[in-house]
Structure 1
Amino acid sequence: MWMCLFTAIATRIDDKVVRGEDMMDVYHFNERFVSCQPQGDPILNALDVILREITCLYSPLVSNFITAYTLNFMSFNCLDSETKDMQISLKAPLYPEYSRVLSGMPDTYGFFAFPSMLPIREYIQCMPDLRIVINHTNDILSYYKEEMEGDNTNYLSLMAASRTSTLKQDALLELIEKTVQAHHNILEYLRPGSEACDAYVSFFEGYVKFHVALKRYKLKDIMTEMSSSD
């Protein structure tokens, strides 16, 4: 339930940028969080409260990681607001990946994938691959929605713009291959049948179903179109 609430709040905060809402309180979130001051917005207050509960759910080390990555996410929303119309330079091909890591909180959700009592050494080495799976599964399943909305600031758009001859569709295919490989890497590392592997498989299945079920991603529209064309 905690992760559901966290996700709902984070999604609403992310929408602030998309909708062009007032970002002033978002800019001050980290400062107010650290100094234990009231946030100036109900949604931000909710995040403040729920984030302080993390120490009751996870070890001090994992709690530190989750808190730090969440604060980075808040900073990214401010960065995203200020760089909306920024042209992506061909001289900075790694910027899209940097931007995506900050925006997607893949490390936060990577820790959510495993039981809180599971020793971190059981899964920490797969976190780089898990970062790819979490971020880019979302990018792949968001592709239709973002194309329909004309969104040119998403990861695939930035990825294509950072290269001289890459179409967005080609970037999508490349991303699918990269994500599938990362998924297989995780399964091989965690060893099928282990508690960590079972937790990851359960998380991944739920992660995909979450995207399919949520109207936000419009995936049922694709299914309807496919059914009507049969």
Structure 2
Amino acid sequence: MSTSPEYLTCIQRLLTDIGYRYEPFPPYDADYWGPFHNWMVHTLGPTSSWTVKQIAEVEHTAGGLMERAYPHASTQLKLLFAKLTAIVTVIDDSIDDEVVHEQIVQFSRRLYHGEAQQNGMLVLYHATIQELSEIYGNDSILRGLAIVPWINYIDACLMEKQILNVEGSGVQPHGSAHVESLALKFPHYLRSKTGLAEAYVAATFKATKEQSLPLTRYIKTIPDFAFYIEAINDLLSFHKEEIDGETYNFIHLRTGTMAASGARGSGDSGKWTCQDTINLICSEIKVAIHRIDGLLRLEECERKMRGDTGVANIDDVDIDIANQWRGCRDGFISWHLECRRYKLGFLKSVVIGEATKSYE
């Protein structure tokens, strides 16, 4: 159903409603892609059992994310986030390997006890997290947003695997249908643990090591911004997951809890369906985007950048924040449309045509 007219129409309507702007690829940046390629091939690659082709796909995915969603970020910041994104992509796709699973079980224990990691990939992961931490200097609040999710991600993957193993065994606990109907917030909770959203939000509000934006100018956007990161990814990765037969994801989990709660949907006899969940998520993303735009005064900042002298109380800091938000806001969507991992070529041609037509 991920290529159904309803799915396509919902996404097209969402992107129109939020004023999505597609920007062409930036010029090739050898200072970014050169070091990242060498690191992927000669540093990350040897710590995994993956083939050269598999590593190349991770390079395309992780490198493209930082290129498209963080156009204002320094090469240093983009490289660190790209490296961490690459490592978690390998971990996520390797979680069913029992050897890898046993190694990551010990990650947080060793971290908290100050012990060295015993797995080469986890040694690299820990070292890169430490390197990223240095970017934030004395800003403990932004450091917490940027660093803690990478640490928690490992245990979140283990939690997800443990739950999936139990639920996939076919053994259902007594009263499970009633329990499911009461677990409306659980899909959100699980997604927040595995989504790394706050880390990617933090990257938006510190484009360089030297940049220091006032916390009070953006802190109130973080709940909606984190939701946006998670929800857009869920929406635009759904097609790939349907092709791969994956059903343990946010959309399916939320559909299950909504259906169990008795919510009325568009299916037979009013059953709540995945398309109903997709429609709901599109509506929620639209509301979240509009709140962030308002809090960051995006429209006013862009009017001032166009030379509108009637805009008051907008300074250079406001404009920096607005530009960095706009870059992530639209670039994150563009990355999904262009990334081979998500198989959205059929959607890209439709969406980009719409976006180009709207902003000519």
Whether the TM-score (by the shorter chain) exceeds 0.5 is yes
2:158 aligned with 1:33, yes or no? no
Tell me which stretches of 4 or more aligned residues in structure 1 moved more than 4 Å. Answer: 18-21, 221-226
Unmatched segments (≥5 aa) in structure 2: 1-78, 260-270, 302-317, 352-360
The whole-number CA distance in structure 2 between the counterparts of 1:2 and 1:77 is 21
- The residue aligned with 1:206 is 331
The whole-number CA distance in structure 1 between the counterparts of 2:107 and 2:285 is 33
- The residue aligned with 2:186 is 95
Task: Go from structure 1 to structure 2 and tell me whether the alpha carbon gap of 1:141 and 1:133 turns closer, same or farther (over 3 Å shift).
Answer: same
Superposed CA deviations along residues 70-112 of structure 1, whole A, max 9, x for unmatched, are: 2221111010110114277122111001001001011111111
Tell me the SS of whatever aligns to 1:117.
coil
Q: Is the 8 A contact 2:224 2:292 kept in 1?
A: yes
Residue 221 of structure 1: how far off its partner (Å): 4.5
Paired residue total: 226
Task: Go from structure 1 to structure 2 and tell me whether the alpha carbon gap of 1:34 and 1:157 turns closer, same or farther (over 3 Å shift).
Answer: same
From 173, 179, 185, the equivalent of 2:279 is 173
Q: Which amino acid aligns with 2:342?
A: Y
Q: Is the 8 A contact 2:337 2:347 kept in 1?
A: no
State the Cα RMSD in Å: 2.1
2:291 aligned with 1:185, yes or no? yes
2:171 aligned with 1:84, yes or no? no
Q: Is the 8 A contact 1:9 1:43 kept in 2?
A: yes
The whole-number CA distance in structure 2 between the counterparts of 1:108 and 1:39 is 22
The whole-number CA distance in structure 1 between the counterparts of 2:95 and 2:290 is 34
Superposed CA deviations along residues 15-44 of structure 1, whole A, max 9, x for unmatched, are: 122666631121111122233322232222
- The residue aligned with 1:217 is 342
Moved more, 181-190 or 25-34: 25-34
The whole-number CA distance in structure 2 between the counterparts of 1:210 and 1:42 is 29
Higher RCO, 1 vs 2 (CA within 8 Å, ≥6 residues apart): 2
- The residue aligned with 2:44 is none
Unmatched segments (≥5 aa) in structure 1: none
Residue 61 of structure 1: how far off its partner (Å): 2.2
Q: Is the 8 A contact 2:133 2:147 kept in 1?
A: no
Scaled by the length of structure 1, the TM-score of the pair is 0.90
Q: Identity of aligned pairs, percent?
A: 23
Q: Is the 8 A contact 1:17 1:80 kept in 2?
A: no
Scaled by the length of structure 2, the TM-score of the pair is 0.59
The whole-number CA distance in structure 2 between the counterparts of 1:70 and 1:7 is 9
The whole-number CA distance in structure 1 between the counterparts of 2:326 and 2:347 is 25
Which of these two proteins has the greater Rg computed from alpha carbons? 2
- The residue aligned with 1:150 is 245
For residues 40-119 of structure 1, what are the structure 2 equivalents within 5 Å? 40-58=118-136, 59-85=139-165, 86=167, 89-115=180-206, 116-119=211-214
Tell me the SS of whatever aligns to 2:95.
helix
